[in-house]
Chains A and B, each alone.
Chain A
Amino acid sequence: MAQLKFRDKTYEVGDGATVLDVLLEHGQEVPNSCRAGVCQSCLMQVVEGEVPEQAQKGLKDSYRAKGLFLACSCQPQADLAVSLPDAAQLRVSAEVTGIRPLSEDVMELVLQTDAPFEYQAGQFVTLWRDERLGRSYSIASLPDDDNGLMFHIRKVARGEFSSWVHEDMKPGDRLSVQGPAGDCFYIPGQPDQDILLIGTGTGLAPLLGIVHDALRHGHRGRLQLIHGAQHPSGLYGHETLTALARDHDNLIYHPCVLNAEDEMDAGIRQDTVEGLVKALVPKPAGWKAYLCGDPDLVNKLRKQLFLAGCNMKDINADAFIPSTPADRIG
């Protein structure tokens, strides 16, 4: 059985257990959120030994080179000594410069980082209120946008971070930004490829970045953008996107809701996202697809598009995995 060393203590690693499991089980505090190898909240550093390849999947090269790994995805096969990385080397501090509601339950948050921050439109970061509370959000702005980093933050019932943003946050508040991560971004080089962008809820945020990036690169293929919501009030990008689509012939915006209302805009359809995709692009062979938002829907669409002929490597998915609720920890 492998031994795990952390803060001068040594623990036995049970069969199939991860570094995160073992440390939490013994009452050690390790920041974590999705526990699915996505959000990168549980980054740790190798002091001695080696971690399996899986534990560094999706990390940027500079992180790998430092021996950083994801505690939730690391099942040690041999003895290992680990530490928590110095937060300062991973994060950059930032100030809240703008905050305003976009809809009933979505807040737009704008941050100015203290140091330059490099990212690709469509990637995500983890925002930290303090040492303990961090949550991942997609970036809705563009890298060369001087107005700062923009996010769409949806209010989650009993969500600690989103409650802070929605109820207490004001300009001047400080937080720190870790990342960026994620591979849902526009890749120049195939300007005539048709692109399908599908988002539910705040899954629209990364898609907006990708759409702007594609238009800026002079993309000529079709950009079919589907935004799905429960109710018309959830289509918080409706006016912006309607206007943007008017200015760009190859951008086609498809707002759709599950629950229609009498007075909603004529352009909004009542349909499921899956149904709309099937009707719009029955044969997605050769298309590129970006899927962001609800994890169940993202996985369902991924399979649907793949079976209908889309290449697996052309499907970029960013499932918004909720953080593990506090009452389910330990």
Chain B
Amino acid sequence: MSSLYERIGGEAAVDAAVDVFYRKVLMDDRVNGFFDDVDMDKQIAKQKGFLTMAFGGPNNYTGKDMREGHKHLVARGLNDSHVDAIVELLGETLKELGVADADIQEVANIANGARDDVLNR
């Protein structure tokens, strides 16, 4: 049986999803405040890392990285509602790209699994 990452389409799917996803994030007033001052090249690279992880692909993220990487955002008010919004935008992105509902749910579960580390709880 193929893995989630293979079913979604691997690296090519990450490349296809990153523009759509990042555009949604920048246009969404619930979360775009956290992304305003960030260099767009660096941001795209980070988004690719995030999508690869959420799609169940190869990644080297540790809980500690997640905590360190989001600490300054938690200090600026990052909370559950923002994580909810990101998971929602991720779902919309995958739906547009034609990913099956069951796989979208699995991606959401992986993303939600990082919630406590991201929010430094």
- B40 adjacent to A307 (CB under 8 Å): no
Bound CA span A302–B19, Å = 13
Nearest to A309 among chain B residues (CB) is B23
Q: Given A311-B19, A312-B19: A303 and B44 within 8 A (CB)? A: no
B26 within 8 A of A: yes
Nearest to A310 among chain B residues (CB) is B19
Nearest to A314 among chain B residues (CB) is B19
Bound CA span A189–B55, Å = 33
Shortest beta-carbon distance from A72 to chain B in Å: 15
- Residues of A at the B interface (CB closer than 8 Å) are 299, 302-303, 306-307, 309, 311-312
Q: Is the interface of A mostly helix, strand, loop or mixed?
A: helix
* Chain B neighbourhood of A303, CB < 8 A: 26, 40
- B44 adjacent to A312 (CB under 8 Å): yes
A/B interface sample: 19 pairs, CB < 8 A: A299-B40, A302-B40, A303-B26, A303-B40, A306-B19, A306-B22, A306-B23, A306-B26, A306-B40, A307-B23, A307-B26, A307-B27, A309-B23, A311-B19, A312-B18, A312-B19, A312-B22, A312-B40, A312-B44
Using an 8 Å CB-CB cutoff, how does the interface string of B60-76 with A read, 1 for contact, 0 for none?
00000000000000000
Interface bin, chain B: under 10
Bound CA span A8–B23, Å = 50
Shortest beta-carbon distance from B121 to chain A in Å: 26
Bound CA span A132–B82, Å = 49
* Chain A neighbourhood of B27, CB < 8 A: 307
* Chain B neighbourhood of A306, CB < 8 A: 19, 22-23, 26, 40
* Chain A neighbourhood of B19, CB < 8 A: 306, 311-312
Nearest to B42 among chain A residues (CB) is A54
Interface centre among A303, A309, A312 (most CB of B within 10 A): A312
Interface centre among B18, B23, B44 (most CB of A within 10 A): B23
The 5 A-B pairs at the shortest CB distance, nearest first, are namely A312-B19, A311-B19, A312-B44, A307-B26, A307-B23
